[in-house]
Amino acid sequence: MVSGATANSDTPVPVNESQGAALINSQSGEMETKKADIFQCQTNYLELKQVISFGHYVCAATFSPSTKHLVIDGEDSEDDRILGIWQQTADGNWSQNGKFREHNFRFEFNRSENTLLRTSSDGKVTVSKLNSNGFWEGAVVLEHSPCLRGEDNVRVIAGFSPRQDKIMTYDYWAGKIKVLPVDSNGQWTPLTQTQEISHRRHWGPQQQPFKATDHNLLTYRGSTATIWAFNDDSNCMEVQKIIEFSKWIWSAQMSDDEQYAVLFGVDQAIFLGCDGDGEWSQIGEVCHPESYSKAINKHIKGYIHKASFNASRQYALSIDSNHIAIISGYDENGSWEVKTEIQDCSDVRFSASGRKLLAQLHKPLSCNKTDDPLDQGQTPDEHSNNCYESFIRRTYKSFKLWDCSSNGGRLDKVQTCEHSGSKTVIFSPSENFLLSYGVESNFACIWGYDEEGNLVEKAKAFHRGGIHYAAFNAQGDSVLTRGNDQVVKIHGLDSQGEWQEQLVVKHQRDIRDGFFSDSGHLAYTVGLGGTACILGRDNNDQWMKQAMTNLADGYSIEGAQFNGLDNHFLIYGKKIDKKDKHQPGLVQLWGLDSDDKWVEKEQIKLDYPVKKAEFSPDNDHLLISCNDDRRGYFRSKNGTVLLWKIPSSPGEETAHT
């Protein structure tokens, strides 16, 4: 069913005056004379732009990707859920330009942010557009099958295509896909579809989330897979290829460029490709062998969990529940063949460039779940989940690396590296180094190449009690490791190309977080004892502590974040003293002074626990969400969102009153 709908978009979201918040007229953005008393600022470094209060709870608050819009999902009561939208005006203020009452919705802006896609649990998908007055209007409503109330039960998925010229919706319960292209007038209208697009996918580790596509669409149902293509002339999706599988199709995936696809059939994978004329054909097939089980004295099937192509589409991999990985690809004559089979493989993947192949190996553990689950009456989905659970419970000991860059259709120079107890191996951004670590190993290992091209150990970062996180920075010249020993370490490359331990940060209690900033030039650590450190480099390019804070009065740190410019840093948390029934929240903002030194710019104390604090994508604003939920979600009486403007430079630090 398709119908028109207009939202009551020019009515402001109710503001509860009884809570004593600083009230903002949501249309004009002007503050009323009543002074806020749910928060207290230390320095007035920030300029308060909006205070938006809900009578019951704030579920989520976030900016659109361009920061043009602020979207708040809140409740005035348990039965009155609201999606409110505010828009930044030319004078820098914010005014409300949309309000929708729905239950359990998800939303997405298009790239231009003039179209909003909303999905609710009652089966409705709504396309709204900004009208000439700058308010959101519901333009199209697609009716899907309703599902049980609760966000976890939402089974209608909707999204924009990569080119933003189509919207696709998938109704899991009905197994139907609908497509809305945009016409030359900017109107979203359903296709004149004569043949229903039917799709019945299954849930499992190998199944990718549904997403909208530009030209080709892959669906499956039972043992039949269909490839559809959009026809501009007929304004519909037409069948391009029907593939009859010999077995039940467990899953199907299409590459991001929509030129390759893979079908999963329990222990069989079929690879498909599209030629220059848009014709689809089978380019390869892999059948995984049965594996002998000593425990039950029989051979059991290996059910494929994952399959993918490398970036050049020259090779493909597949791995099954018997921990057998098969690498296949083109030979010199253009025929598809099996390249190698890897036993006791816990994971296998191509590097981002596709020029390398990494396989993690393990020592098998004894397990009672060795019978064929399908013989025990389990469904394929139940089997898939059970296999996946046993699939990840391994003792890891080594990994193998192949070169996939040769032109002769062969895998070259396999190298094996031992690291007992490691569970994760990652590539550096340049793919010239690898990093292996795990909670069952007392060190993280950095691997690189010697002059002969052999993969060798370059450095180790030792931690007592195992390592639960390690990562390269964006430049790939530094490694951060977090251990169970309350220590964070950073290793860096020196001028001679050698990895050296440059910084050790010791917290009094366990480590909560420790990450590089997105730029890779800074890092931070957070301890459970309320301590946080900002880490950066000195003039000699050595990592060092640049600032440290220790929250007093029993406050814990729940989260931390750098902004995109790396010139502001925030931490937020709440008081954990059980004797304090109010559980007040706190946000601390740090910034660079005129000497490029980190200093505390602002500290905001709130009467309510802070749900989240974050920077806007344009780095100009700080958003704080808090709820009076110290007694639990269902007994909360107020939710508040605070929006602040951040000075853009040290010279703009005039106090705001």
DSSP assignment string, 532-556: EEEEEE-TTS-EEEEEEEE--TTEE
Residues of the chain with pLDDT under 50: 1-35, 148-152, 365-393, 651, 654-657
C-beta neighbour count of 491 within 10 angstroms: 23
The domain locations on the chain are: 1-11+77-190, 17-54+551-657
CA angle 435, 441, 445 (to 5 degrees): 25
CA angle 359, 361, 366 (to 5 degrees): 145
Residue type, 62: T
Q: pLDDT, tens digit, for every residue of 427-449?
A: 999 999 999 999 999 999 999 99
Cα separation, 468 vs 50, whole angstroms = 40
User: From residue 626, how far is each of 38, 554, 609 by CA, in Å?
Assistant: 10, 18, 6
Determine contact, residues 492/543, Cβ cutoff 8 Å. yes
Pairing of strands 298-300, 291-293: antiparallel
Pairing of strands 555-562, 598-606: unpaired
Determine contact, residues 127/137, Cβ cutoff 8 Å. no
Residue type, 473: N
Determine contact, residues 627/639, Cβ cutoff 8 Å. yes
Cα separation, 504 vs 533, whole angstroms = 11
Q: By three-state DSSP, how is residue 205 classified?
A: coil
- Tokens 């590089």 locate to 516
Cα separation, 544 vs 533, whole angstroms = 10
Helix (H) or strand (E) holding 98: strand 94-101
Bridge partners, 75 (sequence order): 57, 81
Structure tokens at 434: 């690898």
Query: What pLDDT score was predicted for residue 297?
Result: 78
- Burial per residue of 611-625, b for 16 or more beta-carbon CB atoms within 10 angstroms, e otherwise: bbbbbbbebbbbbbb
Determine contact, residues 290/306, Cβ cutoff 8 Å. no
- DSSP state for residue 390 in the 8-state scheme: H
Determine contact, residues 255/211, Cβ cutoff 8 Å. no
Determine contact, residues 516/474, Cβ cutoff 8 Å. yes
Q: Is the pTM of this model over 0.95?
A: no
Closest CA to 606 of 563, 644, 562: 644
Cα separation, 641 vs 643, whole angstroms = 7
Query: What pLDDT score was predicted for residue 611?
Result: 92
Helix (H) or strand (E) holding 391: helix 380-391
Q: pLDDT, tens digit, for every residue of 344-394?
A: 999 999 999 999 999 999 876 443 443 333 344 444 444 444 444 444 445
Query: What pLDDT score was predicted for residue 187?
Result: 86
The DSSP-derived string for 149-196 is: SSGGG--EEEEE-TTSSEEEEEETTTTEEEEEEB-TTS-B-----SS-
Structure tokens at 453: 């091209």
C-beta neighbour count of 66 within 10 angstroms: 14
Closest CA to 329 of 257, 249, 404: 404
The DSSP-derived string for 308-359 is: EE-TTSSEEEEEETTS-EEEEEE-TTS-EEEEEEESSEEEEEE-TTSSEEEE
- Tokens 């749900």 locate to 611
